[in-house]
Amino acid sequence: MTTTLERPAPPAPAAPAARGGSTLTGTWSLIRFILRRDRVRLTVWTVLIVMFYAYFTAALGLMSDTPGALEARGALMETPAGIVMGGPGYGIDNYTVGASMANEGTVWMVLALSIMSILHVVRHTRAEEESSRSELVRAAVVGRHAPAVAAVVTLVLVNVVIALVSALAMTGAGGIDELPMADSLGMTVGVALSSIVFGAIALVLSQLSEHGRGATGLSLAVFGLAFAIQVAGNLREIPGGTTLSWFSPIAWAQQTRAFVDLRWWPMALSVVAILLLLWLAAILASRRDFGGGMIATRKGRADAKASLRGPFALAWTQQRMALLWSCLGLGLMWFATGTLIPDIGTMVGDLVSENPAMAALFGDDPSTFATGFLGVIVLYAVLCCAAYAIVMAARPKAEETAGRLEIALARPVSRGRWLGAQLSVATLGAVVLTAVSVYALWFGAVVVGESEPGFGPYSEVFLAQLPAVLVYLGFVAALFAWAPRLTGLGWALLGYTFFIGFFGPLIEDMPDAAHYLSPLYWVPEAFVEDFDGVAFVGLLAVAAVLYALAFVGFRRRDVVTT
C-alpha cells in the first residue's frame, strides 16, 4: 500500500564534451566567471602592489635628496644582512634610486605577487575541486583541463596588468630621467614572470596534493627554498651572485639588471619554466582522477590513542604540527638573523670612520645602530608571532562553520570547556613561539660571539612583548564570540600595527590616538627603553578582559553551521 517517495535523482553525470568539444570546452565562460567572482579580490591586490611600487620609488626618491644617503645604503647592501634583505647588488657602487629599487625591491615584489599567484591558482583548481562546487561545474559542459587553464589565463592576465600599471607608476613617481620606462618594464615584467612561475608550481602541486591547504603550504615551501637558494648564491659574490643564484626563479627577475644595464634574456628562463611546468601539470592532471591526488593519504589508526581524551587533547593534536613548523621555520630564520648582528655593528663603524657624513644617518655610536637594527628585527618577529596567534584564535571559527563544533557540543561538553581548550592550546603555542623567536635571535648572536645584549635583556624583551601577542589572540577570540563573521578584523589590526609601527613616525600630524590602537605602541622599544611594569600589567589586563569577553559572548550566542 505504501509507496516510497522517490529520492531526488543525483545530477546527471557529465555529458561527454559537446559537439566539437575538447578538454578545453567552457574555458572562456570559466574565465569570465573567475574574473567576476574575484573582481574585488584581484582589484585589491592590484592596487596594493601598484601602491607598493610607487611608495618605494617615492621613498627612495626622497632619500636621494640627502647627499650620501643612497651611497650609504649601497654600502649596507654589500653586507650579509643587506644581501639577505636585498638582492644580487647590481649597481651598488653607484647606487641610484632605480638600482636601489631593483636590487632591494625585486625580491619583496616577487614574494607579494607569488603569494597572490599561489593563492589564486589553488583557489580556482584544487580548493574548488575539494569542495563539491567544481563537480557541479564539471557536470556542465566543461572540459577536463578547462578549470586549470582558466585559472592560469586569469593569473597571466592579472600579472600582466599589474606589471604594466606598476611600470607606469614607478616611472611616474621617479621621473622619466631617473627611471626610464624600459627599465621599469624590465623590472615589473620580470617580477610578474617569476610570480607566474610560482603560480605554475602551485598548479603542479595542486595535482599532487589532495587538499588545497596542502598545495598552498607546499608551494610556499618551494618559495622559501627559492628564497634561500638565491640568498646563498648571492652571499658568496656581490654584485651578480653565483651560478647557485640562478637556480632560483627569484633570480630570473633580479638578473635583468634593471636600471643598471638592462638585459631581457633572463626572463626567457621564466617563460621556459612556466611552459615546462604547465606541460607537467597537464600530464599529471590527465593521469589522476577527479578529486584525487598523487600523494596517497596514509591510513590512520583504528582506535584512538589513550591520550585523545577531551577537547584539550583534540585541540592539541590539531595545532601541534602548525606550532612545530612555525617554531622550526621562524626559529631558524631569527637564528640566522642573529648571526648577522656583529656585521651590522662593524660595517657601520667602518662606514662612519671613513665618511663623517654617515654619522648623520646612523648616529655616532655604532653599537646603538646595532640595537636599532635589533629593535626592528624584534618588531618583525613579534608581528610573526601575532600572526600565528591570530590564525590559531580563528581555529574555533573553522570548527564551527565546518559543523564539528556542533557534534562536540551535542556531547556533554560545556561551551566554556570547549573554548577554553581551544584558547589555552592557542595561547600556549603563542607563548612558546614568542620565546623561540626571541631566544633564537639571542642564540644566533651568541654563536658568532656577540654577547651584548645578553640573556637578561632578551628575556626582558620576551616578557615585554608577550602580553601584546596575547592581546591579538584575545581580540580575535572576542570577535569569534560576539561577531563571528568579523574574525578577519584580527588581520586588520595586525596590518594597522604594521603600518603605524613602520610608517607612523614618518607621517606628520598623526594624532596620538592613532597610535594608541596599536598594541605594540605600548610595548617599550626593545633594547632601548627599560622594561615597563605598568605597560606589562596593562596589556595583560587588556588581554584578560578580551579573553573573558570571549567566554561570556560564546556562552550566549547561537552555534551556526555553514
Partner 1 sequence: MTTTPSGAAAGAPAIEIHDLHKSFGPVKALDGLELAVTHGQVAGFLGPNGAGKSTTIRVLLGLLRKDSGNVRLLGGDPWRDAVALHRRLAYVPGDVSLWPNLSGGEAIDYLTRLRGTVDKRRKAELLERFELDPTKKARTYSKGNRQKVALVAAFMAEVDLLVLDEPTSGLDPLMESVFMDYVREAKDRGTSVLLSSHILSEVEKVCDTVTIIRAGRSVESGTLDQLRHLTRSAVTTVVTGDPAGLAVLPGVHDVQTTTVEEGTRVTFDVDNADIGGVLTALSAMGVHSFTAAPPSLEELFMRHYGDELAQEEAAAKHAADAAEPGARSRAGAR
* Interface contacts to partner 1, rule CB under 8 A: 1-5, 7, 210-211, 297-305, 308-311, 314, 317-318, 402-404, 406-415, 556-559, 561
Instruction: Using the minimum distance from each CB to partner 1, give the nearer residue, 410 or 534.
Output: 410
Name the residue nearer to partner 1 (CB basis): 19 or 301: 301
**Beta carbon of residue 350, minimum distance to partner 1 (angstroms, whole number):** 53
Identify whether 453 is preceded by a cis peptide bond (ω within 30 of 0).
Answer: yes
**Torsion from C-alpha of 75, 78, 80, 82, nearest 10 degrees:** 60
In 3D space, the residue among 229, 200, 225 whose CA is nearest the CA of residue 215 turns out to be: 200
Long-range contacts of 169-177 (CB under 8 A, 24+ apart): 169/50, 169/51, 169/53, 169/54, 169/57, 170/53, 170/54, 170/57, 170/101, 172/54, 173/53, 173/54, 173/57, 173/58, 173/61, 174/57, 174/58, 174/60, 174/61, 174/97, 174/98, 174/101, 175/61
Side chain identity, residue 68: G
In 3D space, the residue among 375, 548, 390 whose CA is nearest the CA of residue 468 turns out to be 390
Using the minimum distance from each CB to partner 1, give the nearer residue, 224 or 292.
Answer: 292
CA dihedral of 348, 349, 354, 357, whole degrees rounded to 10 = 60
Minimum distance, C-beta of residue 491 to partner 1, in the bound complex (Å): 23
Distance, CA of 73 to CA of 63 (rounded, Å): 10
Question: To 5 degrees, how large is the angle CA 177–CA 178–CA 179?
Answer: 95
DSSP 66: S
Q: For residues 9 and 40, which CB has a smaller minimum distance to partner 1 in the complex?
A: 9
For residue 82, the minimal CB distance to partner 1 (Å) is 42
CB 524 within 8 A of CB 464: yes
Q: Look up residue 260 and give its three cell numbers.
A: 643598471
Min dist. Cβ of residue 387 to partner 1 (A): 22
Nearer to partner 1, 407 or 448 (CB): 407
* The amino acid at 99: A
Helix (H, G, I), strand (E, B) or coil at 512: helix
Whole-angstrom distance, CA of residue 441 vs CA of residue 377: 9
Q: CB of 401: closest distance to partner 1 in angstroms?
A: 9
- Rounded Cα distance between 372 and 525, Å, is 9
Contact 180, 128 (CB under 8 A): no
Which amino acid, one-letter code, is at 252?
W
122: helix, strand or coil: helix
CB of 290 to partner 1, least distance (A): 14
Min CB(115)–partner 1 separation in Å: 23
Pick 57 or 319: Cβ nearer partner 1: 319
**Which CB atom, from 451 or from 562, has the smaller least distance to partner 1?**
562
- Tell the smallest beta-carbon distance from residue 18 to partner 1 (Å): 29
Q: Are 163 and 43 in contact (CB under 8 A)?
A: no
Name the minimum Å distance from CB 457 to partner 1: 40
DSSP annotation string for 363-409: -S-HHHHHHHHHHHHHHHHHHHHHHHHHHHHTHHHHHHHHTHHHHHH
Min CB(9)–partner 1 separation in Å: 14
Closest CA to 340 of 448, 457, 241, 234: 448
Is the Cβ of residue 130 or residue 460 nearer to partner 1 in the bound state? 130
Nearer of residues 36 and 305 to partner 1, judged by Cβ = 305
Shortest Å, Cβ 205 to partner 1: 17
- Between residues 3 and 451, which has the closer beta carbon with respect to partner 1? 3
Closest contact distance (angstroms) between CB of 426 and partner 1 is 16
Query: Least distance (Å) from partner 1 to the CB of residue 313?
Result: 8
Of residues 403 and 454, the one with the C-beta less far from partner 1: 403
Place of cell 614607478: 170
Kindly state the DSSP code that residue 91 receives in the 8-state scheme: T
Minimum Å gap between C-beta 132 and partner 1 is 10
Sign of CA dihedral 88, 91, 97, 102: negative
Q: Nearer Cβ to partner 1, position 26 or 311?
A: 311
How far apart are the C-alpha atoms of 469 and 427, rounded to whole Å? 9
Task: Pick the closer one to partner 1 by CB: 65 or 303.
Answer: 303
**Nearest CB to partner 1, comparing residues 10 and 449:** 10
Cis peptide before 239 (omega within 30 of 0): yes
**Contact by Cβ (8 Å): 355, 68:** yes
